[in-house]
């Protein structure tokens, strides 16, 4: 049973936790052959994207004064050589993606395009507004951006509430924008998605997969977060009618049939806040990781003290075709004695096959590598 004021207690613990103390990488656990080092110290890092010349761009969630950073590493070493500010004073510029020399940034209501960002680093950038009509509801307003194999820009709009029937169809959905069109309006791609902050395309099929966060306040172990598969447009993944593919909602579930909705391919740990994900296509990690899915689990806040927290780790899901055959921990240890000192938010593959992991609580980006 949930304890009263659990969320407030968790926030107080976070404010007083070991975020300010020295980071001890020795507490992190991973299989033999893997190692982890600090790639860069960045305040509140969220989504990452790889640009030109080894530069990694990083968005942040920091309220009305959020920044976007560029981590320079032209020689491909295990640490960034310099950190530059691309822009600042933005309203939660959580999402970033790079395409054809331009950087795209998703703030709360606005998507910006920084033209020829590599050339303009450290200067007044040539900035275009793609749209400034995204909703400004505070809940689930952080958005990750990605370009799909179809050339469209994908933009999620989460539910404006924990568990409700959104009044507008644009909520609880994943949309696309055709940047070659004149109006550049949002077009719905998939519905029934409470809040996705991580998606990628299978390099073997060019089909979309995404994480989704389950509702809060039901039970400690219900519902699960989800890993979903969307091979075509206009699929509905259940929210708010059904949770984790098999549990009708007590308020909304009586009006629909479970079979009307697409179940997850893999139930993830309940309340683990699965965020950024990617397909691994590199050669550095052992061969079983090839074309598997790597997920950053930010960590729970709404489980009871008795149940303990979930998440605070990086996991991986092995696929055979379109089915999950394995869901295991890749890196853990950010949670010690049920107290967190770090919270993974995104994962990014570097050209050498190593993986960056952003952590918006410890204010750091790690590099995970492997050597036989």
Q: What's the structural domain count of the chain?
A: 1
In a domain, 186, yes or no: yes
Q: Distance between alpha carbon 312 and the CA centroid of its chain, in Å?
A: 13
In a domain, 364, yes or no: yes
* CA nearest neighbour of 356 among 140, 45, 135, 84: 45
**CA 176 to each of CA 234, 239, 261: distance values in angstroms, whole numbers, following the listed order:** 12, 19, 21
**Whole-number Å distance between alpha carbons of 214 and 212:** 7
Q: What is the pTM of this model?
A: 0.93
In a domain, 22, yes or no: no
Number of C-beta neighbours around residue 79 at 10 A? 12
Which residues form the domain of 43?
6-17+27-370
**Whole-number Å distance between alpha carbons of 244 and 236:** 13
Q: Is 346 left (phi over 0), alpha (psi -120 to 50) or beta?
A: beta
> 300 is written with which tokens?
């729970």
**Whole-number Å distance between alpha carbons of 319 and 228:** 12
Residue 160's pLDDT is: 95
In a domain, 1, yes or no: no
> How would you write the pLDDT of the chain (372 residues) with one tens digit per residue?
333 333 333 343 343 333 444 699 999 999 999 999 999 999 999 999 999 999 999 999 877 789 999 999 999 999 999 999 999 999 999 999 999 999 999 999 999 999 999 999 877 778 999 999 999 987 888 999 999 999 999 999 999 999 999 989 999 999 999 999 988 899 999 999 999 999 999 999 999 999 999 999 999 999 999 999 999 999 999 999 999 999 999 989 886 789 899 999 999 999 999 999 999 999 999 999 999 999 999 999 999 988 999 999 999 999 999 999 999 999 999 999 999 999 999 999 999 999 999 999 999 999 999 998
Q: What is the CATH number of the domain that holds 360?
A: 2.120.10.30
Residue 15's pLDDT is: 38
DSSP β-bridge partners for residue 317: 293, 327
8 A C-beta contact, residue 85 and residue 43: no
Instruction: Tell whether omega for the bond before 240 is within 30 degrees of 0, i.e. cis.
Output: yes
In a domain, 268, yes or no: yes
Instruction: Describe the strand order of the beta sheet including 173-177 as a list of residue ranges.
Output: 146-147, 153-157, 173-177, 186-191, 235-236
Angle made by CA atoms 123, 124, 126, in degrees to the nearest 5: 120
Residue 213's pLDDT is: 98
Residue 11's pLDDT is: 40
């Amino acid at each position: 049973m949930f304890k009263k004021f659990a969320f407030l207690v968790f926030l107080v613990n976070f404010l007083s936790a070991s975020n300010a103390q020295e980071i001890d990488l020795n507490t992190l656990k991973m299989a033999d052959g893997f190692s982890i080092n600090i790639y860069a110290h960045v305040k509140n890092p969220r989504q990452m994207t790889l640009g030109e010349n080894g530069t990694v761009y990083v968005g942040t969630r920091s309220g009305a004064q959020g920044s976007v950073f560029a981590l320079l590493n032209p020689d491909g070493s295990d640490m960034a050589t310099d950190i530059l500010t691309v822009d600042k004073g933005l309203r939660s510029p959580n999402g970033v993606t790079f395409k054809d020399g331009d950087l795209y940034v998703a703030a709360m209501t606005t998507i910006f395009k920084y033209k020829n960002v590599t050339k303009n680093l450290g200067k007044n950038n040539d900035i275009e507004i793609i749209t400034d009509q995204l909703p400004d509801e505070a809940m689930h307003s952080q958005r990750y951006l990605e370009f799909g194999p179809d050339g469209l820009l994908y933009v999620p709009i989460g539910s404006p509430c924990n568990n409700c029937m959104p009044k507008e169809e644009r909520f609880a959905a994943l949309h696309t924008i055709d940047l070659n069109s004149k109006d550049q309006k949002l077009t719905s791609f998939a519905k029934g998605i409470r809040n996705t902050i991580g998606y990628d395309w299978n390099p073997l099929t060019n089909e979309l997969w995404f994480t989704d966060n389950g509702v809060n306040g039901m039970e400690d172990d219900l519902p699960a977060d989800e890993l979903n598969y969307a091979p075509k447009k206009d699929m509905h993944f259940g929210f708010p009618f059904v949770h984790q593919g098999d549990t009708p909602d007590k308020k909304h579930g009586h009006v629909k049939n479970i079979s009307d909705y697409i179940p997850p391919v893999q139930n993830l740990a309940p309340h683990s806040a699965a965020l950024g994900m990617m397909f691994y296509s590199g050669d550095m990690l052992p061969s079983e990781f090839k074309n598997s899915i790597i997920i950053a689990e930010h960590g729970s806040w709404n489980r009871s003290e008795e149940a303990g927290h979930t998440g605070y780790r990086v996991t991986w899901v092995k696929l055979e075709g379109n089915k999950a055959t394995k869901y295991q921990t890749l890196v853990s240890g950010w949670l010690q004695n049920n107290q967190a000192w770090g919270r993974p938010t995104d994962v990014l593959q570097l050209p050498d096959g190593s993986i960056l992991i952003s952590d918006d609580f410890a204010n750091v980006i790690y590099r995970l590598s492997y050597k036989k």
